[in-house]
Structure 1
Amino acid sequence: MSGLESGLDGLQPATIILVVVAGLCAGWVGAVVGGGGLIQLPPLLLVPGISPVQALATNKMGSIFGTTTSAVTYFRRAWPDLKTALPMAGVALAGSFCGAIVATALPAEVFKPVIIAALAAVAVFTALRPTAGTLTRLRHSGARHFGTAAGIGLVIGFYDGLIGPGTGSFLIIAMVALLGYSFLAASAKAKIVNMATNLGALLFFLPNGALLWGLGLVLGAANMAGGYLGARTALSRGSGFVRLVFLLVVAALILKLGYDVLQENRAGS
């Protein structure tokens, strides 16, 4: 495997440490409320010689290790509803693959203002409704429940393949607001769905040779450790803790994407 293929040859130890720490923190945050890509992707973009597509592909590889680990941890301890989660995951995988295809033709900058507005609405909804997501009170049953879940999986899966930041957070708030799950129950199911969205995007990137395997495996190992610790923390602290971290992550996403839009507008003017 060449240095280009692995992404590790010639890297300074400080750069590798930065990637590992970012992967660990991203895994923890992603396991609790999603949004780990906000932490994980920027250090990858600092790796010398890496292209944005290689960074995105390697980020997805690292993330799939973390989401798989946290999904297994949640499953063993919280027993999420697989009748809802698995169909959602299947539809989300297809949506993510399609989103990755569209991402090659449309710049993410087109969608960022819309995403900021959506995140702001999510933050206001969560802040003004402190009892939302404390307990599971399903809003629908039967075909309507599964249809709504599939719609959530398709739309947010497409978003993950297209842009990505905040996918786990969007999944959680959609399941809380539209389906009536508690934050903890929604987080458990979101990991299964998010695992599928990462896989869908990765299946698109793999044939194009964009993945840096060595760097991705290092990142994946760190993400696994963070994902395990994050899932254990969420399970032990409950929905109130998940809600608090959710608000913090959404606020950070709004600030990060808002800063990106301002920088892009300045560069274009």
Structure 2
Amino acid sequence: MPDISMTMIIILCVTAAAAGWIDAVVGGGGLLLLPALLLGLPNAHPATVLGTNKAVAVVGTAGAAVTYVRTAPVDVKPAARIGAAALAGSMGGAALAGGISKDTLRPLIMVVLVVVAAFVLLRPGFGTAPASSPVSRRRVLLAIGLAGLGIGFYDGLVGPGTGTFLVLALTALLHLDLVTASATAKIVNVCTNAGALAVFAYQGTVLWQPAALMAAFNLAGAMMGARMALKKGSGFVRGVLLTVVGALVVKLGFEQWG
């Protein structure tokens, strides 16, 4: 166990719970969790921070996924196919995480987030109701490639905002409502977290003791968030989505130019 003060342990646990709640509703819990880990583990290598983050997040996403699947109308078969691709993508991203400068990715991610926020704002009906007709095989294949391999690779390489990207991609590609997209995204996100964690664990860059403690709080927050999203519906998820996207843009902008 690293030398961490009791005050910092409390901060990390509370942050893990809040991150779990946000992640379960719409993704983006890493926006809180990674900065908290960087603050709490100032002497740790960045790869160790990323690995510990994955060890915490995989527990919360798994709990949220189980909560959603029990209640929400999730089509598990395509979710599992996208998840398998995401697992492979995240392992590839994690393997390269130590050799690529993340500063080069921030401007691109910011542009994507701003476009996403504008799209959601200008289309109030986005994600409020599922499609009336079955989704074509082509769209499922696109989801496997983009949401699975593409976003999975990003999650292993960088991480924050993955759940948000998954929700948006699944809503757009599979014509899901936002609640069902959040539920499906949790299944996929479990795979991305597990794939990246396997690589980080193999490399020995996970602090298991603080991760286990934070994971318990992350799980509690995630299950509360999933239940709230199911209860309040797509309008609530849409509001949280816009808030998280805005926060991600501010965070990335501060890191880039602050």
**1:108-158, Cα deviation, whole Å (9 max, x unpaired):** 111110000000011000000000100011676342132022012111001
How far apart, CA to CA, are the structure 2 residues paired with 1:189 and 1:59?
21
Residues 217 and 146 (structure 1), Cα distance of their counterparts in 2 relative to 1, 3 Å cut = same
2:220 aligns with 225
Greater CA deviation, 42-51 or 242-251? 42-51
**1:187-241, Cα deviation, whole Å (9 max, x unpaired):** 0000000111011111110111110010010111010000000000000000010
TM-score by length of 1: 0.92
SS of the counterpart of 1:118?
helix
How far apart, CA to CA, are the structure 1 residues paired with 2:113 and 2:256?
14
SS of the counterpart of 1:125?
helix
2:47 aligns with 53
SS of the counterpart of 2:130?
coil
1:197 aligned to which of 187, 192, 196: 192
Instruction: Give the unaligned 5+ runs of structure 2.
Output: none
Aligned 1:228-247 pairs, distance under 5 A = 228-247=223-242
CA contact (8 A) 1:138 1:179 kept: no
Instruction: Give the unaligned 5+ runs of structure 1.
Output: 1-5, 264-269
1:178 aligns with 173
In structure 2, give the amino acid aligned to 1:258. G
1:130 aligned to which of 124, 137, 141: 124
SS of the counterpart of 2:167?
helix
In structure 1, give the amino acid aligned to 2:142. T
Aligned 1:30-179 pairs, distance under 5 A = 30-47=23-40, 48-137=42-131, 141-151=135-145, 152-179=147-174
CA contact (8 A) 1:139 1:180 kept: no
How far apart, CA to CA, are the structure 1 residues paired with 2:132 and 2:218?
32
How far apart, CA to CA, are the structure 2 residues paired with 1:54 and 1:185?
33
Deviation of 1:32 (Å): 0.1
2:203 aligns with 208
**1:5-35, Cα deviation, whole Å (9 max, x unpaired):** x33xx32110000100110000000000000
1:29 aligns with 2:29: no
CA contact (8 A) 2:81 2:144 kept: yes
Root-mean-square deviation (CA), in Å?
Answer: 1.2
Deviation of 1:44 (Å): 0.7
How far apart, CA to CA, are the structure 2 residues paired with 1:239 and 1:67?
19
